[in-house]
Amino acid sequence: MFRTSRVGFRRQLISSCLLISTLNAENLDDLLEGFDDAPKQVETLKAVAKETKVEDDLMDGFDDATSSESTLKKTPELVKAKDEKSLGFLSGVTGKLTEQMAFAYGDDAPHDNISSLKSSLLLDYEHKFDNGFRVKTNAKAYYDAIYGIRGRDKYSKDELDELESEVELFDAYVEGSLTDNLDMKLGRQVVVWGRSDTIRITDVLNPLDNRRPGMVDIEDLRLPVAMAKFDYFVGDWRVTPMAVLEQRFSKNPAAGSAFNPSPNAIDHNDYSDVTPALSIGAEFSGWDVNFYAANTRDDAGYFSNGKLQHDKTKMFGAAVNVLSGSWLLKGELAHFDGLKYTNIKDKEFKRIDGLVGVEYNGISDTLISYDASVRKLNDYDTRLKNLAVEVKEETYQHAFRVSSDFMNATLKGNYLLSLFGSKFDEGGFQRAWVKYDISDGIFANVGVVDYIGGSERFDAVSNNDMVFLDVSYSF
């Protein structure tokens, strides 16, 4: 009976979101009159145009400034205050306070009911020097009070260490122009490769915070890594050599937590070497392209002597966008060489990953997208089926997303469905959420996450469905 209601809930949620999207299209003139926010993908192309310093017909009329910079440009009083020396150090400090609550309505104790009650603080400092160089750094601290309220003895040590509290330095870099056609950026930073907003194919430089999977989009999950990055501009092309100075790996669910029932914590081997990477790209009228090469340590790794080993692997890839009217077509392709899934001596594999996607923004203030990917392992070894986590010869993933603005862009509705398997039958999750701007600097984010079974991986967490609420204040 419970299972039937869960399936009905999922079907109802998917149908409701698709119906809302359809009604939104049918009532466009009445409901969305006066909206003028640019779609997300156009914002992405704006950022690319700024990086490449290419000004062509595709980007005419767009302002590359960030939202905070745009506000300063539109408000002379803020610009004046920003420049006043009397503010000193504080003139470059901004921040955000967030209160978050998650309610798990189907999980087992102690991860049921109110499963998270987290307070977090993000502080950001930015300063631009007279010579054009800029320094930026930010740090985040959080404390989840639910562990103290419900009793710390009910949780595993690994979960307490990973999720109860944390203080971490995120971005910390200096950037500027060395010459007219050579820029430099040194320090902890995020470098995004590829085109998809949901599925990672060529995006291999930054690990992710996956401790609560499905709760947040990839753009907010990437962990910065110390790099030395140079941008050299030649005509329409940008050549970007990089040196990865810090070896970090994704943070996965803690042992004993709601998303990892295993009692054994995972320990990583430590590495201190420097690995190279290269990107070459350009943007033209109506399309853009990037080529990538990297010799990085494999983020997934494999177990050896009780620890997760991350051997070096080579990646060569490419990504392309083609804009045609209201349609954006995108594709990614990557070749990996030197992958290891077991500690069998000299047993390395090659893999081809590919993605195709489409986005439609013909409905005012609405973006609809669908991405599909496949990962094909060459020279497949049947022994990979017998590992603790089975490695398949082919892995499929799909991502369907809808987002739309309402009420003069003060309310934004979102829906994301991510499923695995060639027939959408190997599990995944769906998330629906609404973000509301309560007033200047204050916004609320409320939504629901539904985990869908279909494979051993997702069956283990299919009861972790939850409702979440965030309230944030930016200053």
pLDDT tens-place string over residues 298-355: 999 998 888 899 999 999 999 999 999 999 999 999 999 999 988 776 789 999 999 9
Cβ-Cβ contacts under 8 Å for 154 (sequence gap 6 or more) = 109, 110
- The architecture that CATH gives domain 2-474 is Beta Barrel (2.40)
For 279-323, the three-class secondary structure string (H helix, E strand, C coil) is EEEEEECCEEEEEEEEEEECCCCEEECCEEECCEEEEEEEEEEEE
**Contact by Cβ (8 Å): 432, 214:** no
Q: What is the 3-state secondary structure (H, E, C) of 239-258?
A: EEEEEECCCCCCECCCCCEC
Which residues make beta-bridge pairs with 123? 95, 139
Dihedral class, residue 299 (left if φ above 0, else alpha if ψ from -120 to 50, else beta): alpha
The full set of domain ranges for the chain reads: 2-474
Q: Model pTM greater than 0.85? A: no
pLDDT tens sequence across 373-418: 999 999 898 888 888 778 999 999 999 999 999 999 999 999 999 9
* Per-residue model confidence as pLDDT tens digits over 73-110: 444 444 444 454 545 556 789 999 999 999 999 899 99
Query: What H or E segment, with its residue span, contains residue 225?
Result: strand 225-234
Partner residues linked to 183 by β-bridges: 177, 231
Q: What is the pLDDT of residues 339-371, one digit of tens each?
A: 998 877 678 999 999 999 999 999 999 999 999
How many residues are there in the chain? 475
